[in-house]
Amino acid sequence: MKRFPVLLVFLITLNSDLFASRPTFINIITNSDTIYHPTLTDVSETEITLDAGIVILIDDVNAVMAYGQLKGLPVFAGAACGCLGFCPGFIFASLLQRDRIYADGPFGLMIGLGTVALSGILAYKTTHRFVREKHQKMVSMDGWSIEEKRDFFINAIP
């Protein structure tokens, strides 16, 4: 039982959306188009190459929406909500154990643990989505030089 909290903390720290040390892009707004959820593969002197094979001129980029950096408190809030989310599943599993027709032996334990796990995961994912949406930032690049834009995108490549 002591391994569960350690595993939970380990899984949370490996979550790349919450712990992005570099900006994670939601979209790139150019003069002619908006590219949603781009993944940068290469940045040259004058252009950006995306994983879909799209090439964008750096001079055409007007703005970028990205996820900002997060502090540790929202992560702990997500972990706490995940742990509290186990309570409804545990209560449901306890009520299910009273009815011996359906919840006898290992089958009842499997239903109970599955319900507990699903409610905890749902609570964590809901908190994760809320925190992620609250940390979206629009970076306007009007007035930036090509070198400043290129440096911004070079720092964003993992």
- What confidence tens digit (pLDDT) does each residue in 105-144 have? 676 677 767 777 777 777 777 777 777 777 777 888 888 8
CB atoms within 10 A of CB 86: 19
- Give the mean pLDDT of 81-95: 69
- What pLDDT is attached to residue 21? 45
Angle formed at CA 143 by CA 139 and CA 149, multiple of 5 degrees: 60
Residues 56 and 35 sit within 8 Å (Cβ to Cβ):
yes
Q: Where are the domains of the chain?
A: 16-66+136-158, 71-134
- What pLDDT is attached to residue 78? 64
Which range scores top for mean pLDDT: 22-26, 64-68, 86-90, 142-146?
142-146
Confidence of residue 90 (pLDDT cuts 50, 70, 90): low
